[in-house]
């Protein structure tokens, strides 16, 4: 807590993004999505609805999938943030390619981050768990079946 009775309106801080400490200057009212995209140039997380509905902005914060449009950047202080740019040749990325799990690609990074969080959390997820998690994201191009095949390809292999 601040020593004064004033809260933080604007501040300089370091966010731990994809394993690197990144200095940023943020307003308390800035969402994590905006800071990732506009200050750090990490444009993988997409601004779809900015309303919590589409999941295109999904990132992983200390192991948990989060819609970055509904998180303030200041809330992520001290957390490990992973964006799609932080995944390097993860099996789920290759599986998306192998199974044609995208068309326009706008939703893809959000879906992949959600799938990655699911694989980390439930490496042996059953169909019901997969369905439940996939409900968090929307694909306007309706690649749902292919996305399901991609996640199965990883989970069944592991």
Ligand X SMILES: Cc1cc2nc3c(=O)[nH]c(=O)nc-3n(C[C@H](O)[C@H](O)[C@H](O)COP(=O)(O)OP(=O)(O)OC[C@H]3O[C@@H](n4cnc5c(N)ncnc54)[C@H](O)[C@@H]3O)c2cc1C
Residues between 86 and 145 with contacts to ligand FES, criterion CB under 6 A:
102-108, 139-141, 143
* Residue 53 is a binding residue for ligand X (CB under 6 A): yes
Least distance from C-beta 49 to ligand X, angstroms? Answer: 9
Burial of 106 (0-12, 13-18, 19+ CB in 10 A): middle
The verdict on 52 binding ligand X (CB under 6 A) reads yes
- The reply to whether 50 sits near ligand X by the rule CB under 6 A is no
Closest residue by Cα to residue 17 from 72, 85, 88, 114: 85
Residue 74 contact among ligand FES, another protein, ligand X, none, beta carbon within 5 to 8 Å by kind: another protein
For residues 122 and 100, is the Cβ–Cβ distance under 8 A? no
Q: Would you say 36 or 125 has its CB closer to ligand FES?
A: 36
Pair of tokens at residue 121 = 């959390």
Q: Which residues bind ligand X (CB under 6 A)?
A: 52-53
């Amino acid at each position: 807590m601040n020593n004064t009775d004033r809260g933080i309106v604007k501040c300089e801080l370091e966010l731990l993004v994809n394993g690197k400490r990144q200095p940023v200057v943020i307003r308390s009212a800035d969402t994590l999505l905006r800071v990732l995209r506009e200050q750090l140039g990490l444009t993988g997380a997409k601004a779809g609805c900015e309303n919590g509905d589409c999941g295109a902005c999904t990132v992983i914060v200390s192991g948990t999938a989060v819609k970055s449009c509904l998180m303030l950047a200041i809330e992520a202080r001290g957390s490990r943030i992973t964006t799609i740019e932080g995944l390097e040749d993860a099996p789920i990325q290759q599986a998306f390619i192998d199974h044609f799990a995208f068309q326009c690609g706008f939703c893809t990074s959000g879906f992949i981050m959600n799938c990655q969080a699911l694989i980390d959390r439930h490496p042996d997820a059953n169909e019901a768990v997969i369905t439940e998690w996939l409900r968090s994201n929307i694909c306007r191009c309706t690649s749902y079946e292919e996305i399901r095949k991609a996640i199965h390809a990883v989970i069944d292999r592991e």
